[in-house]
Amino acid sequence: MDVIDLDRPPTERRPPARLRPHVLVAAAGVLVVGAAIGGVGAYGWSTARVERARNAEVSVVILADTGPQANDAGVGGTVLNDRVTDASLTRRVTLVNAGPLPVDVHDLSVDRPGLTVRGVDKSRWIKQGEAVQADADIRVRCGRGLPIGELQVRLFVRTYDDRERTAVATLDATEWNDQARLACNGDLL
């Protein structure tokens, strides 16, 4: 409740201050410029992040060579008490770069009970969509390394940004089964 003092003249009330149009336009302009600068900065940051991820991407496909000379490479083994205990084969594989940028696949390996596969440690840059061949040395413990089927191959790769990475690819190595079995039976030695 308001008290009215009758001895004093009424105080003059001022109307609320009006915002001037040019102040409103200036405030809106500052907001629009800030939003535009923020949007450009966020776009630049997002684009740079996508580009870094793209440069680090590795996708290599590995295939067992099935050409006419696929079974002509070296075969060896270890014989103990007139029985082959370990068979060794050298076979070719094809490495295909399915990623967006060139990669250097310099080694490959598989380790599973009774079977090891090693690639020849050699630098080979592969451009996008291109394929190169590499040698794979296979050692099979005849008592427990067969049959050879699909293998998870670790590929040691250097990316375009000069960082070392390990990629995993699946190799269908069933083509090597017959020759490994023949070597373990002593028929190829």
* pLDDT of 71 strictly over 60: no
Burial call 154-166: b when 16+ CB within 10 Å, e when fewer:
bbbbbbbeeeeee
Position 10 confidence tier, pLDDT thresholds 50, 70, 90: low
CA-based max dimension of the chain: 131
Q: Which residues pair with 59 in a beta bridge?
A: none
Distance CA 22, CA 44 (A): 33
Least confident of 7-11, 49-53, 97-101: 7-11
Q: Which one-letter DSSP state was computed for residue 125?
A: E
Q: What is the pLDDT of residues 119-160, one digit of tens each?
A: 877 888 999 999 998 888 999 998 788 888 899 999 999 987
Average pLDDT in the chain: 83
Q: Which residues pair with 115 in a beta bridge?
A: 112, 140
Task: Calculate mean pLDDT across residues 174-185.
Answer: 86
